[in-house]
Structures are given as structure tokens and as C-alpha cells.
């Protein structure tokens, strides 16, 4: 691949908007319902992690296209801030209409595309975002499809993508260490305060 060439995201990936979660309160025959896991924006963590799923019941199965696959890239439609690269297949899981899935072609390394979307794509998307600064901001499939992606050699894609994955892991470790440090400090201060009160 030529190093100076750029391609549009819509040319190298399938971009999907999720399905609306319609409540099935009036289903008459419970035996004919289909249960799926549903990913929503609040399930996306800050460290390339998924924090749980919801359960939905439908009268019909979701089309296979809208089932989450390994290497799918997830990002929020409203107030986008980070992206998630699905590193393992999630059984029977679909995604809400407030999420986008970017499914790249085989000749591109998914982690590389995820890195670009998070580090450069968000800035570009935010500059063309729909909505005011104080209101809820929304991105569109059209805006995503128009994003320009540097078309570099696959080995360089893997190097950059793997660096991004390691960066996410380091962020998670640092966050866990900070939380544990805060917990220990709170416990120490609490024990000192309790001991002082007992002496009085």
C-alpha cells in the first residue's frame, strides 16, 4: 500500500447504526420471544473495556450483521469521547441505536483504525458535530464515512495499533493503582480518627 495515500473510512469499513430497543410489553406468546444481549453507551468503559450488557426480548432474531463480532469498533453516537475495540466474540449481543459499529476490511488492522478514531477522528468529528457546545452533540454515519485514514503498510498498522492497546492497558493499571492508593489513605485516616475519638 502506498504510504502517502489516504482512504475514506467508508471505503474500508462497514459502518452500522444500532437497532432501536423497542419494548415488547404486549407479547402474547412468551415461548416465541428471542432474547438478546444489548450494548448501550453506558456499557462502554474508558479503558477499551465493556462493563456489562442489558437483556432485551424481541419477536424476531436480530440479523447477523447487527450481532457484535470480534474486532468490531464501537463508539457512541451522542457525545462521543472514546472507542472500544472488541477483543473477543460476544455471544448473541447486539447494540443500541445510540452506538455505531465500524467493521473494517481484512486488509486493515482494527486496532490501528480504533487508535486513529480515538486520537484523531474524535477531534475531526467534534469540529463538524451536530449540536451546540452546551447541548447533546451527535455524530452521523456520513461524517464517519468521510474521515480520512492514512493508508500505511499493514506492519506499521499493527505496530501503531498494538501501541494503542498497550496504552489502554497502562491507563487501566494506573487508574486501578490510584483507586487502591485512595482506598488505603482513606482507611489509614479513618483508623487514626477512630483511635483519637476512642481516647477522648
Helices (H) and strands (E) in the chain, counts: 5, 9
* Residue 75, C-beta contacts closer than 8 angstroms, at least 6 positions apart: 82, 83, 84, 99, 100, 102, 117
Q: Say what the pLDDT of residue 196 is.
A: 58
Q: Which three cell numbers stand for residue 8?
A: 475514506
d(CA 62, CA 38): 11
d(CA 71, CA 84): 9
Tens digits of pLDDT across the chain (200 residues)? 445 589 999 999 999 999 875 544 444 555 678 888 999 999 998 888 898 898 888 888 888 999 999 999 999 988 788 899 998 767 889 999 999 999 999 899 999 999 999 887 766 665 555 555 545 677 889 989 999 999 999 999 999 999 999 999 999 899 999 999 999 999 888 888 776 555 55
d(CA 71, CA 58): 26
What pairing do the DSSP bridges indicate for beta strands 83-85 and 148-150?
unpaired
Dihedral through CA 69, CA 172, CA 164, CA 39, nearest 10?
20
Q: Say what the pLDDT of residue 4 is.
A: 54
Identify the structural domains of the chain with CATH numbers, from first to last. Answer: 6-199 (3.90.220.20)
Concatenating the DSSP letter of every residue in 66-126 gives GS--TT-EEEESBS---EEE--S--TTEEEBTTEEEEEE-TTS-HHHHHHHIIIIIHHHHH
Contact call for residues 99 and 18 (beta carbons, < 8 A): yes
d(CA 53, CA 116): 26
Helix (H), strand (E) at residue 145: helix 141-145
Amino acid at each position: 500500500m502506498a504510504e502517502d495515500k489516504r482512504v475514506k473510512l467508508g471505503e474500508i469499513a462497514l459502518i452500522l447504526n444500532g437497532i432501536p430497543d423497542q419494548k415488547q410489553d404486549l407479547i402474547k406468546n412468551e415461548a416465541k420471544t428471542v432474547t438478546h444481549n444489548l450494548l448501550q453507551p453506558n456499557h462502554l468503559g474508558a479503558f477499551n473495556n465493556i462493563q456489562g450488557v442489558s437483556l432485551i426480548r424481541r419477536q424476531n432474531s436480530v440479523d447477523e450483521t447487527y450481532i457484535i463480532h470480534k474486532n468490531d469498533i464501537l463508539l457512541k453516537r451522542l457525545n462521543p469521547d472514546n472507542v472500544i475495540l472488541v477483543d473477543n466474540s460476544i455471544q448473541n449481543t447486539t447494540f443500541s441505536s445510540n452506538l455505531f459499529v465500524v467493521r473494517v476490511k481484512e486488509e486493515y488492522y482494527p486496532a490501528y483504525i480504533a487508535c486513529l478514531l480515538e486520537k484523531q477522528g474524535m477531534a475531526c468529528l467534534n469540529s463538524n458535530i451536530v449540536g451546540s457546545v452546551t447541548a447533546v452533540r451527535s455524530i452521523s454515519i456520513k461524517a464517519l464515512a468521510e474521515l480520512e485514514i492514512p493508508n500505511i503498510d499493514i506492519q506499521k498498522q499493527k505496530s501503531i495499533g498494538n501501541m494503542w492497546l498497550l496504552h489502554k492497558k497502562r491507563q487501566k493499571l494506573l487508574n486501578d493503582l490510584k483507586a487502591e492508593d485512595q482506598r488505603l489513605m482513606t482507611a489509614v485516616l479513618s483508623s487514626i480518627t477512630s483511635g483519637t475519638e476512642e481516647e477522648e
